[in-house]
Structure 1
Amino acid sequence: MTMNIRVLTPDRVICSTTADEVVLPGLTGKIGVLDGHASLITALDTGLLRIKLDNKWTPIILCGGLAEIDQNRVTVLVNDVEELSSLDLSEVTKELEKAALAVENAETSKAKLDTAIELKKATARVEALNYLS
């Protein structure tokens, strides 16, 4: 049996499909969702959402939000998503290294928060490209 999944931003529907398995980027770690999962509402971190259908993974980079799981329906409400179409693995690996260095060199609390979010995005980009290749 499959689940229904919808990924929504405030201004558009990113995807509406079925899935055999979903992995969400929770605030305390990854949340795996299979058919028959218990009802749940959870906050999401910036990171990689993975949707598995017919043994193929589809990655989507999320920029924070919420997820509701109820009766084999997964609804993901996010602030924004990043498109994966124009990413190159060597380029995103360099961006990941720069983001990690920026976190180390951040001096103020705000700078640390901002650079940590960029590091999460850069990590998600690398993970997404690894799933696509």
Structure 2
Amino acid sequence: MKGLLQRVRQARVEVNGEVVGSIDQGLLVLIGVEREDNRARADKLLHKLLNYRVFSDAQGRMNRSLKDVGGGLLLVSQFTLAADTKSGLRPSFSSAAPPALGEELYDYLLTQAREQHSEVACGRFGADMQVYLQNDGPVTFLLES
């Protein structure tokens, strides 16, 4: 399971012009689910998302986590994140999870996030979404579990 996290000052997701999820300071995370992923990998990724130290402390060092700062978490499913781009000029999606498994694990991750963190928002699985963000830094990391 992959999570492309971006530290943001604010972010929102729209579907057909309707805001379906938004946060202020926190993390926007694009989620890619691969064939071999399972709930244990989702749990591991969530632990990293909530505890990865990407926010500045008083000395300006990245020593604070999302939990430490109490920021928002915006989870957005992104099928293309699971693409294999190692060769050629066209992405291969052979490693991506089938839609049913992708949705099941994305929903599981979202449920677990809401149980463990106070401010969680999301996009809509499988929808054509427009994602707006004000990147803070910019700070972007690709996490894998």
* TM-based fold match above 0.5: no
Structure with the largest fraction of strand: 1
The TM-score, its normalising length taken from structure 1, stands at 0.33
More relative contact order in 1 or in 2 (CA 8 Å, sep 6+)? 2
Output the TM-score relative to the length of structure 2.
0.31
